[in-house]
Amino acid sequence: MKTNMTARLLLVTLAGAALCAGAGAQNLDYNKIEIATDQIAPNLYMLSGSAGLDPSHEDAAGGRIGVLAGPDGILMVDAQYAELGDKVLAAIRRISQAPIRFLVNTHIHRDHTAGNAKFAKLGATIFAREELRAGMAGAARAPSADPAGLPVVTYGLGEPVRIHLDNEIVDLVPIRAAHTGGDTMIRFEKANAIMIGDYYRNYGYPFIDINNGGSLKGMLEALDFTMKAAGPDTRLVPGHGTLIKRADLIPYRDMIFAIQGKVAQLIQQGKSLQDVLAAHVTAPFDASVPGGLLPAGAGTSADRFITEVYQELKGGK
């Protein structure tokens, strides 16, 4: 009986995790959301939705958008919820009237990709990982019903795709399965800034989207890779949460290692998922993780992360 209860809990929690990037958006009042703009380099800007309105992301509605603007045109990173397309476009037009030439997706979740179609119809060429396009094209996973939102230029693991635009060099760096199976890190070489998507977040505990190919091992590898790619003064821009520097990745990585170790120890003791969740292994970190105890799927952000760690370790990956 206990085994069946644990199995049901695992399925429910993972289902909540799979939906968390989109389920909360169904209850959003998009009319209340405004798009804020922050300039972090002479021609590089970051757009964010209003805080406190998105049940999935209390820190800012939807994912952060990057905008590189100059005489050669505009390159966007991610495209937010589809329902915010007009507001996002208006925010971009306050920066520049240049044509929107390129749009790069950091990963598949609809708070980053559902607005793709609008900007594709304005002439943007969409770049993304092959895995991301495959996931979007699949009927069961499609975050947007409009085929115009599908990436048209795709790439796999290997050397970065390099775009020369507006006196900037933009590297699209594929990341091994971390937050999802199709993550990309976007580096702006001259601006000394890197957009790292959602494999790092400082609002809530890490989210490993197993249903979309994410992995704990890959997330740790991605953090190590980012620390090597970034200099001490490089601005790291997550899809959610505050901007950070390389040194801020160290305690984040150490927290993941600590939780991983504790969950592994409990698994070795024969503990079930229900037992591991009841042990509150994130307790030493809860006070320093904003939003860590807020709802995320079937439980809290902490519960979701523990469940993901448990599943990967239990599976021997």
pLDDT of residue 56: 77
User: At 2, is the pLDDT very low, low, confident or very high (cuts 50, 70, 90)?
Assistant: very low
Tokens read off for 308: 């993901």
What is the per-residue pLDDT across 121-137, written as a single tens digit (0 to 9) for each?
999 999 999 999 999 99
pLDDT of residue 13: 40
Reading across the β-sheet that carries 168-175, which strands appear in turn?
161-165, 168-175, 183-188, 193-197, 235-238
- The average confidence (pLDDT) of the chain is 91
Tokens read off for 190: 């001259």
Domains located in the chain, CATH noted = 28-203+221-244 (3.60.15.10)
User: At 14, is the pLDDT very low, low, confident or very high (cuts 50, 70, 90)?
Assistant: very low
Alpha-carbon distance of 89 to 65, in angstroms, equals 11
pLDDT of residue 297: 78
Q: What average pLDDT does range 198-206 have in this prediction? A: 95
Q: What average pLDDT does range 159-182 have in this prediction? A: 98
33: phi then psi, degrees, rounded to nearest 5: -85, 130
Tokens read off for 230: 């970034």
Q: Which of 20-29, 107-116, 168-177, 189-198 has the lowest mean pLDDT?
A: 20-29
Q: What average pLDDT does range 90-105 have in this prediction? A: 98
Maximum alpha-carbon separation in the chain:
66
Q: Are 111 and 63 in contact (CB under 8 A)?
A: yes
Q: Are 256 and 205 in contact (CB under 8 A)?
A: no
User: What is the distance of C-alpha 34 from the center of its chain?
Assistant: 20
Q: Are 193 and 234 in contact (CB under 8 A)?
A: yes
User: In DSSP terms, which residues pair with 295 in a beta bridge?
Assistant: 300
What is the per-residue pLDDT across 57-90, written as a single tens digit (0 to 9) for each?
889 999 999 999 999 999 999 999 999 999 999 9
Long-range contacts: 160-164, Cβ < 8 Å, 24+? Answer: 160/187, 161/127, 163/75, 163/102
Instruction: Tell me the whole-structure pTM to 2 decimals.
Output: 0.90
Alpha-carbon distance of 9 to 229, in angstroms, equals 39
Buried b / exposed e along 130-164 (16+ C-beta atoms within 10 A): ebbbbbbeeeeebbbeeeebbbeebbeeeebbebe
Tell me the CA end-to-end span of the chain in Å, nearest whole number. Answer: 27
Q: What average pLDDT does range 292-307 have in this prediction? A: 92
Q: Are 204 and 290 in contact (CB under 8 A)?
A: yes
- Cβ-Cβ contacts under 8 Å for 145 (sequence gap 6 or more): none
What is the per-residue pLDDT across 222-273, written as a single tens digit (0 to 9) for each?
999 999 999 999 999 999 999 999 999 999 999 999 999 999 999 999 999 9
pLDDT of residue 6: 41
SS3 content of the chain, % helix, strand, coil (to 5): 40, 20, 40
User: At 4, is the pLDDT very low, low, confident or very high (cuts 50, 70, 90)?
Assistant: very low
The angle at the Cα of 290, spanning 181 to 203, to the nearest 5 degrees, equals 25
Assess whether pLDDT exceeds 80 at residue 9: no
Torsion of CA 278, 286, 239, 195, to 10 degrees: -120
Alpha-carbon distance of 12 to 299, in angstroms, equals 9
Tokens read off for 126: 């969409």
User: At 298, is the pLDDT very low, low, confident or very high (cuts 50, 70, 90)?
Assistant: confident
